[in-house]
Amino acid sequence: MLTPEQVNRVAHLARLTLTEDEKQRYARQLSAILDYAEQLASVDVSHVSPTATVLPVRSVVREADVVNQLLTRDEVLKNAPRSDGESFEVAAAITESS
Amino acid sequence: MIDHLTVKAVRAGLQNKQFSALELTRAYLKRIHEHNPRLNAYISVNDEEALRQAQAADERIAKGDDTPVLGLPMAIKDVLSTKGLRTTAGSRMLENYVPTWDATCVANLRAAGAIFLGKTNTDEFAMGSSTENSAYGVTHNPHDESRVPGGSSGGSAVAVAANLCVVALGTDTGGSVRQPAAYCGITGLKNTYGRVSRYGLIAYGSSLDSVGVLAKNAEDAAIVNSVIAGHDPKDSTSIHSPVPNYVDEINSLKSKIQNLRIGVPKEYFIGGLQPDVENAVREGVRAFERMGAVVKEISLPTTHLGLPVYYLIATAEASSNLSRFDGVKYGLRVNGDDLIDMYGKTRQAGFGDEVKRRIMLGTYALSAGYYDAYYIRAQKVRTLIKQDFERAYQEVDIIMTPVAPTTAFKIGEKVEDPLQMYLTDVFSVTLNLAGNCGISVPCGFDQQKLPIGMQLMGPALGETQLLSAAHTYQFSTFN
């Protein structure tokens, strides 16, 4: 069973604020899923390479940059929750007191 | 006018002036407004713009223009970006998100003159097997409205099955095109990884995500696939391989069922498989045998490892992909005391239960101390699963299995137990892990008159052969 500390740590890493109820429920449900995943522990993978992509991995030479008409600034900012028309607006990440 | 219209019939009707694209679109919109309040297949209906697209299509047709999808009224799953048309991914997070650009597959269809009737319901960020995880309510299966349509492309499956569009796009990360197609009694093509560009597909598991087609039959899927498949410089994982003329190929390949080698893996016929499903799929296999195919039992010994591998890899990729929803660039923002607090509160309010659960699971599997035991180990077992298929395709051409262990289950039946819900994907996830293609084909009904789906699996870029086999089966069964 995942401990409350483990759940808090993962929630923080994932930047998720969770309610007490969610923390307890996820601890229980994630533990059941991880128990189920335990069957992978018994598979012999000592001589197996991991598959991150099914595509053949190949080295390529970077092509020269081509300037394309993509999105205008207005289009980029159109869906922003807050912007000043030139950039995204967020709360100060660094303040004098910190 | 529109009952059971196929893509092929629409094209013929438009060319023969049996109806105009505008008339057709009006008829579909009318039907959507009649039935969607009950079925909830669409999240957004594209009324005005669809009529404008129809008018433009009629003008092109009048000038003698012709494309495989010109004037075709279709639906798009709401995880595919549509310029100027709200794209929610089934999430509160994107409730007001209006893309300023099209996904490449959507752009291809738009350029070819297809008409977009609307955006179909989906489990939030395509995470689910029943369309119950949508922030916009559950979609109902038209064969029994107390049952789920499957998921996550449940809205697209219902839109096709209930004649609320001719054909629809879906996406498949672990079975999300094939399983709802099976539950709703239609055909669902899952493309080889990289065959269709993922550009503009709101990412869930990037090494697994693929775009597919939900259609009334394999020929319709082939027609639409010929428009959406192909290399895209905007997706570095899209395949550089010419797109076959699927429609010509499937009609000329018909005789090639003769001596087609079909493998039936014993690991897909196990306890927990509904007897009606087993019988219908075995009968489907026999139908191929009667048409001259050679059937042999094969073994895919790593089949049972597919689910745990899938749920570790997909959630790990999801935890990374969904970090972009931070309340800054697009989507919901909930203000907080500082930036970190804003992220936490925004994601708390914007994501639903299953999405949070998967982000938590994936973050855990990637976190220090667990990365090797879970994530890397899952990737290694993924290699074994892929090798199983490679071995099998040395002795058979296609593999036939059930799509899912049961027919459509009751709404609410599995909501409380995530692991039980995940188990419905046991026969579909292996294909995504191997990166291959597959197609879900209706093969009968159970005692409650619920549709059963048969899965035809093929090797990478085996779409032509799958579509051909499915088309021949459907042609011989229904004509």
Print the domain residue range for A36: 4-42
Contact between B8 and B69 under an 8 Å Cβ cutoff? The reply is no
- Residue A11 maps to a domain: yes
> Domain segments of chain B: what residues?
7-252
**Three-class SS string for A14-65?**
CCCCCCHHHHHHHHHHHHHHHHHHHHHHHCCCCCCCCCCCCCCCCCCCCCCC
Which chain A residue has its CA at the smallest distance from B431's CA? Answer: A54
CA dist B64 and B382 (Å) reads 50
Question: Catalytic one among B44, B77, B81, B414?
Answer: B77
Contact between B333 and B347 under an 8 Å Cβ cutoff? The reply is no
With a cut of 70, say whether residue B209 has pLDDT above it.
Answer: yes
Tokens 């749920």 correspond to: B311
| Overall domain count for chain A | 1
CA dist A23 and B111 (Å) reads 48
Chain B residues closer than 8 Å to A39 by CB: 304-305, 308
Are residues A16 and B336, on separate chains, in Cβ contact within 8 Å? no
Are residues A13 and B98, on separate chains, in Cβ contact within 8 Å? no
ipTM of the assembly?
A: 0.93
Output the six-digit token pair for B287: 């139908």
Which chain B residue has its CA at the smallest distance from A22's CA? Answer: B353
CATH value of B7-252 in 3.40.640.10, 3.40.50.300, 3.90.1300.10, 3.30.200.20? 3.90.1300.10
- Residue A21 maps to a domain: yes
With H, G, I as helix, E, B as strand and everything else as coil, classify residue A2.
coil
Q: Tell me the CATH number at A27.
A: 1.10.20.60
CA dist B82 and B68 (Å) reads 20
Chain A residues closer than 8 Å to B99 by CB: 79
With a cut of 50, say whether residue B365 has pLDDT above it.
Answer: yes
CA dist B76 and B50 (Å) reads 12
Q: What is the mean pLDDT of chain B?
A: 96
With H, G, I as helix, E, B as strand and everything else as coil, classify residue B232.
coil
- Residue A18 maps to a domain: yes
B284-335 confidence digits (pLDDT tens): 999 999 999 999 999 999 999 999 999 999 999 999 999 999 999 999 999 9
- Which pLDDT belongs to residue A28? 95
Query: Rounded to whole angstroms, what are the CA distances from B471 to A44, A82, B58, B293?
Result: 41, 51, 30, 14
- Specify the length of chain A in residues: 98
- Residue A24 maps to a domain: yes
Out of B344, B419, B433, whose CB is closest to A15?
B344
CB count, 10 Å around CB of A92? 9
- Residue A22 maps to a domain: yes
Q: Which pLDDT band, with edges at 50, 70 and 90, does B175 fall under?
A: very high
CA dist A53 and A13 (Å) reads 25
Tokens 């990412």 correspond to: B203
- Which pLDDT belongs to residue B479? 46
CB count, 10 Å around CB of A28? 11
